[in-house]
Structures are given as C-alpha cells and as structure tokens.
Structure 1
Amino acid sequence: MHILLTRPIDDCIEMIEKFKSLGHDVSHLALLNIEKVNHENFNYDSYDALIFSSSNSIKFLDIKNINKDIKCFSVGSATERKIRALGFQNVIPAEGSVNSLIEIIQNNFDTSDGKLLYISGQTIAYELDKDLKNKGYNIDRLINYKTSHNDFNDINFIKELKKKIPNIVYIYSENSAKSFLKFINNSGLKDDWMDTNLMCMGEKASIILNEIKWKKIFLFNPGEEEFLLYKI
C-alpha cells in the first residue's frame, strides 16, 4: 500500500521506517510547522504533577528546572516513552484519548493532592484544563509551542502524488486537517481520493475533511497506526 504520513519528520521517522519494513510505499508531507514558545524562569516547583496530551509539548520542555520524580500523566504509551527518555520515572499513561487521560488523572490524583500543570500547544482540540477545573482540580496551563500551516510549493512532490494517490492518509489534529484541506484544494487534487482511506485522530479532524470524497474514514488513537493497516 501507499501510505501518506503528515506529522513533522522527527515525529514520524520511526513509523516511516516501520511501514517500509513491512513492504509499504511511504510518502511524507509535514502539514504544520512547530515552534517553541519560551518561558524564562518558569517555576515548576509550584506543581505536584504534569499533564502531557501531545509529544510536541515534551519536545520543547525545559527539563533542567523540573524534578524528575514528579508525577507525569501522558495521553498514550508513545508519549510515555518520550517522557521517560528525558529521565522522568513516575509516568502514568492513558490509553490514547483525552477522555482516558482525564480518567487516569482522576484515578491517580485527588483534588486534594496538590496543583496540576497542563503543558500544551497554543491550539488544542479539547480544553482539558477547564474540564479538570470543573471537577475541582487546581490546574494551570502552560503553552510551550505553537503551530503554523506549511506553504506547499514542491511541484515535484505534487506531481508524484498525482501519479500514485495514497491508499491511506493519517491526520493527527483539527489543525492538521485544515492544512491538508488547503493543500488538496491548492494542488488540484480534490477529486482524487475516492480510493483512499482517511485515518483521523479525532472526530473534529474528520468533519473538516468530510467535503472530500474518501473510500472510508476511520478514527484512531495514538499508537494505533499499524493496527489500522489490518482493518482495511
């Protein structure tokens, strides 16, 4: 199969190699630029647990000022591995969705246990911090990265894509879906996806791309990418 991956190359190089080892043809199109948001002298000591719903928030984490024994909640196992690779020991992973992340926090951190810090990007699909505040938690949100849409001007890439439209496309966020829709329209590819399976992380992303005719649309959680290959 021909698979199109759309995350920044640092976030999907392992998956590219994995899919190629399984005999698949893999193309890569980074839909978003990821930029760090700096916070000088931020006091992490004021918090008793950290929450990560994105691997990008880990990538731009200023780890030198954080106690590695602090409790950390991650959205899934892939995010957990990245946190542990930075030296953090007390990491509790959820099963890949925001709802499961909230559930795992409630099961392992009482409202009386202290203060939470939710580390995220500027654009989020779900206001996790507000939800937890409504449940009685003391929580702040720290934005440590922002995203912008890529400008697609690689004519050769578009020509090659037109010759062989992917069988599968993975889209990881609402923002990525907007960027991919822009790419499709600007590249004159709007009517070329009827034999393509669209894999979206979240319903909001799939809704944005509903105006394109796909073979099928699947929703998935982080870490399920390979599993989805066997569902089509």
Structure 2
Amino acid sequence: MSTILLTRPIDEAMPTAEKLEAMGHTVIIAPMIRIDPVSFEIPGDDRSLIVTSKNGARHGLANIGNKARPIFAVGEQTAEEVRKLGFSNVVVGPGTAREMIPTLLECGISEKRKYSYLCGTNVSYNISDVLKGEGIDAVNVVTYQARPMRAFSSGVQEAMEEGEIDIALFYSPRTATTFEEAAAEYGRSDWLNRIDAIALSTRVKEQLIGPWRSVRYAIMPTEKALFSMLED
C-alpha cells in the first residue's frame, strides 16, 4: 500500500484519512487551507438555498431552523452533509457547480424560485452570476472564508525530504496552488519529483503545474472515483 499526503482542511481530512487507513494506506495530513466561519444574515424564507461544498453546508445551514427549506446540493457528499443537519427537502445535482445550472434554471423559471448561494469568500464558479444572466433572482451569501496555509510541519518536511510520500491528493484548485507555492517558498520544488499527484477533477489538475512524477485526475469529481485511482 501507499503513503498518501492529504492536503484537505483538517476537519475534512480526518474522516478521509480514516477511510484511507481502512484501505491499508499510511496517511500524512498537511492542510493547505484553514476554514473560518464568518457572520452573515440568514436568507429570507422565500429563497431556496444552494450549497456546493460541505463547508457551505456546515457554516451556512447550522442556524437555519426550518428543516423543510428547499436545498439544492452539488454532489452526493454535500447532500449527505445537508441531511446530517436535519434538512429533508434536498435536490441533489451532479458533482460540479457548472453541471447543476440546468436544474437550477429549470426550477428557477418554472417555479419562479429565488436563490441564495451559501459560499466562501473565494468562488471559482459563480452560480449566482450565471443565474442572474438568465433573469433569475440569485445572490451570494458568504458564510465562511478559506485561508491559505503555506507552511509544512517538520514531519511533513521530513517525509518529503526522505521520499516517503508516494501520492498527494488534491480536492480543490486552491489547495493545489497553495501546496506548490509552499514548496517553492521553501526552495524545494524538487520534492515533487518523487510524488504522484492525483486531483479530484480536471479543474484541480490544471492547477498542478509543478515537476510532479505524474499528475492524474479522477474520471468523475467524487471521492469514490478519486480513491479508485489509488488501486491503479
């Protein structure tokens, strides 16, 4: 089995590490992003809510009492997080925000819905802008911020120096970019030469421009598809 470097924020990395260890892998956690909640005004009851990540669900839905409120979730993992919070009226879309647009447009036009997109400070694909371009009332509501962490613990540095890491997993474009920036700031981009990088999607893969031993991406943007790459 492999030694895997996990770059997710710590709250997401822990359950992922447990799954990987159950598969027989050794896991080293090196969070590249820290997630902090921010204050925001809860959208009115007349608005359907869009969430595209677990963080959007956790930080955006925690204080909403009406558990029958319509939620549009991108991907099954996000939807699972929404259900854990007690919400029952959940529409599950494909694994990317872009692929969710047809469903949102159809419901927005036919049912005259208003949307609030519960997002972070950095939005790679702005769903609200796309919907507004089609004449639908949609607004962003920032519920958390992601802070880059361009530093490695001594244990992570030692593991990369000794060539102990076989694979690095990347779940977002920002973690990919931050990791490569951190390695460059240490003056050790050469660490990447001995590591295979596996990305959750083509969008994440596009940010991996360093001298990796290899770069691959999952055929679908799901953790199951990502894990299947470890068996190849």
Normalised by the size of structure 1, how large is the TM-score?
0.88
Instruction: Give the whole-Å Cα distance in 2 for the aligned partners of 1:217 and 1:19.
Output: 18
Instruction: Give the whole-Å Cα distance in 1 for the aligned partners of 2:164 and 2:135.
Output: 49
C-alpha deviation, 1:26, in angstroms: 1.0
CA contact (8 A) 1:196 1:214 kept: yes
Q: Residues 3-57 of structure 1: CA distance to partner in whole angstroms, max 9, x if unpaired?
A: 11111121122221111111111111110111111025x343231x111111111
Q: Residues 124-154 of structure 1: CA distance to partner in whole angstroms, max 9, x if unpaired?
A: 1111111111223211110011111114152
Task: Please name the residue that 1:46 is paired with.
Answer: 46
Runs of 4+ in 1 over 6 A off after TM superposition: none
C-alpha deviation, 1:163, in angstroms: 1.5
SS of 2:68 mapped into structure 1: coil
Instruction: Give the whole-Å Cα distance in 2 for the aligned partners of 1:197 and 1:68.
Output: 43
What is the aligned-residue RMSD (CA, Å)? 2.2
Task: Please name the residue that 2:226 is paired with.
Answer: 225
Task: Please name the residue that 1:19 is paired with.
Answer: 20
Structure 2 spans left out of the alignment, 5+ residues: none
CA contact (8 A) 1:96 1:221 kept: yes
- Give % identity: 23
SS of 1:193 mapped into structure 2: helix
Distance 1:226 1:207, change over 3 A: closer
Corresponding position: 1:100 with 2:99: yes
Instruction: Give the whole-Å Cα distance in 1 for the aligned partners of 2:227 and 2:202.
Output: 20
Structure 1 spans left out of the alignment, 5+ residues: none
Instruction: Give the whole-Å Cα distance in 1 for the aligned partners of 2:112 and 2:198.
Output: 38
Q: Which moved more, 1:60-69 or 1:126-135?
A: 60-69
Q: Residues 47-78 of structure 1: CA distance to partner in whole angstroms, max 9, x if unpaired?
A: 1x111111111121253344211111111111
CA contact (8 A) 1:177 1:208 kept: yes
Instruction: Give the whole-Å Cα distance in 2 for the aligned partners of 1:204 and 1:65.
Output: 32
SS of 1:131 mapped into structure 2: helix
C-alpha deviation, 1:99, in angstroms: 2.3
Q: How many residues align?
A: 229
C-alpha deviation, 1:195, in angstroms: 4.5
Task: Please name the residue that 2:144 is paired with.
Answer: 145
Task: Please name the residue that 2:109 is paired with.
Answer: 110
Task: Please name the residue that 1:29 is paired with.
Answer: 30
Q: Which moved more, 1:120-129 or 1:106-115?
A: 106-115
Corresponding position: 1:88 with 2:115: no
SS of 2:206 mapped into structure 1: helix
C-alpha deviation, 1:79, in angstroms: 0.7
The one-letter code sitting in structure 1 at the alignment partner of 2:39 is N
Instruction: Give the whole-Å Cα distance in 2 for the aligned partners of 1:56 and 1:163.
Output: 34
The one-letter code sitting in structure 2 at the alignment partner of 1:178 is T
C-alpha deviation, 1:85, in angstroms: 0.7
Task: Please name the residue that 2:170 is paired with.
Answer: 171
Instruction: Give the whole-Å Cα distance in 2 for the aligned partners of 1:205 and 1:17.
Output: 23
Q: Which moved more, 1:108-117 or 1:73-82?
A: 108-117
Q: Which moved more, 1:4-13 or 1:72-81?
A: 4-13
Distance 1:111 1:63, change over 3 A: farther
Instruction: Give the whole-Å Cα distance in 1 for the aligned partners of 2:149 and 2:139.
Output: 30
Distance 1:92 1:192, change over 3 A: same
Q: Residues 157-215 of structure 1: CA distance to partner in whole angstroms, max 9, x if unpaired?
A: 30123223432212222221221012211334312333433222444433332132331
Q: Which moved more, 1:98-107 or 1:128-137?
A: 98-107
Normalised by the size of structure 2, how large is the TM-score?
0.88
C-alpha deviation, 1:112, in angstroms: 4.1
C-alpha deviation, 1:227, in angstroms: 2.2
CA contact (8 A) 1:50 1:116 kept: yes
